[in-house]
Structure formats: structure tokens, C-alpha cells
Amino acid sequence: MLRWIAVALLLLASSSALAAECEVDIAATDQMTFDTDAIEISKSCDTFTVNLTHEGTMPVSSMGHNWVLAKESEVNDLATAAITAGADQGYLPPDDERVIAHTDMIGGGESTSVTFDVAKLQEDEEYLFFCSFPGHSMMMRGSVTLVD
Ligand SMILES: [Cu+2]
């Protein structure tokens, strides 16, 4: 009996390790929204992938969306720097160390992905994701949390 319990626990443990989702699908809309405001990343993931789909129809020039990961304390400054960077840079300052990961800026009907090393995240730090298109970062943002 005890042996069976041990086997069952082992199976449970291994299946939950396998079940750790190391990617997330996120949709963005013409209404300037993401369909999630919280992303949890398992520490068991070596890398994490974000698949962003713009489900609207508006062009990138007027309703562009991207997915940018940064420390919460740096998001507002980064959003301002993104506007300064302008459309030619995809509304992100190039090679900015505050940007931990980011997708391309996309328009309606388009999709993009980014994969980054989970080791870049620290347990005692607060992170946000946001869209760096001008005027979007206050509406389009959410938390990124490391979980066991
Ligand atoms: Cu946006």
C-alpha cells in the first residue's frame, strides 16, 4: 500500500513538473487592451515565450502593439523614452538595458513572439509588461511574477 502511494506521488510530482507552461498566448485589440493583466512564470522554465496576436484590424501606425518586459520601477521612464525613440525605432529606444525582453510592434491581424531567459528575472524584483506605443502603456500593462 505504502509503495503504491509513493509511486502515485512520484507520478504526480513528475507530471506537474512537465505541466509547467513555459509560454503564454496574449491577444491585443483595437480597443487598446491586452486580454491578460498578470503573467506567472515558473522558475522551472529555462526560457519563456510570449506569443502576441493583434486581433484588431487597425494598422500599426495608429494602433500598434508590442509586449515589453521591464522592472516596474522603470516602466514609466521607458514608456517616455519609447515615444522619443519614435515610430522608426518601433517605439522603443534601441539597445536599452532597461528592456528585458520585447516583441516587434505589430498591427491588426499580425502575430509575433519573443523568447527570453528566465534567469534574467530576480525573485525579489517587481516586473511589468506593457505596450510601448504612445499613449498605450497606462491601459496596456500587467504584472509578471516568478512562481515555483
Ligand atoms: Cu499598444
Q: How far is the CA of 87 from the centre of ligand 1 (A)?
A: 13
pLDDT at 2 > cutoff 90: no
Q: How far is the CA of 82 from the centre of ligand 1 (A)?
A: 12
Residue 62: inside a domain? yes
pLDDT tens for each residue of 46-92: 999 999 999 999 999 999 999 999 999 999 999 999 999 999 999 99
Q: How far is the CA of 138 from the centre of ligand 1 (A)?
A: 10
Kindly report the number of other CB atoms within 10 A of residue 69's CB atom. Answer: 24
Q: Of all residues in the chain, what percent carry a pLDDT higher than 70?
A: 87
Q: How far is the CA of 1 from the centre of ligand 1 (A)?
A: 56
Residue 7: inside a domain? no
Cell of 46: 529555462
Highest mean pLDDT, choosing among 14-18, 112-116, 121-125 = 112-116
CA–CA separation, 99 and 75 (whole Å): 9
Contact 29, 136 (CB under 8 A): no
Sheet holding 38-42, edge to edge: 38-42, 141-147, 127-130, 68-71, 101-102
Average pLDDT value for the chain: 91
Q: How far is the CA of 89 from the centre of ligand 1 (A)?
A: 15
Residue 83: inside a domain? yes
Residue 6: inside a domain? no
Residue type, 111: S
pTM, two decimals, is 0.87
Mean pLDDT in residue range 14-22: 65
Of 20 and 147, more confident:
147
Q: How far is the CA of 7 from the centre of ligand 1 (A)?
A: 49
* CATH assignment of the domain containing 42: 2.60.40.420
Helix (H) or strand (E) holding 4: helix 2-18
Q: Residue 9 — pLDDT band, cuts 50, 70, 90?
A: low
Range of the domain at 61: 21-147
Residue 132: inside a domain? yes
Q: How far is the CA of 85 from the centre of ligand 1 (A)?
A: 15
Residue 9: inside a domain? no
Cell of 59: 494598422
Domain count for the chain: 1
**What is the per-residue pLDDT for 4?**
57
Task: Give the residue ranges of DSSP H helices in 19-147.
Answer: 60-63, 72-85
CA–CA separation, 107 and 109 (whole Å): 6
Q: How far is the CA of 5 from the centre of ligand 1 (A)?
A: 50
Q: How far is the CA of 18 from the centre of ligand 1 (A)?
A: 33
Residue 4: inside a domain? no
Least confident of 13-17, 90-94, 134-138: 13-17
**What is the per-residue pLDDT for 20?**
77
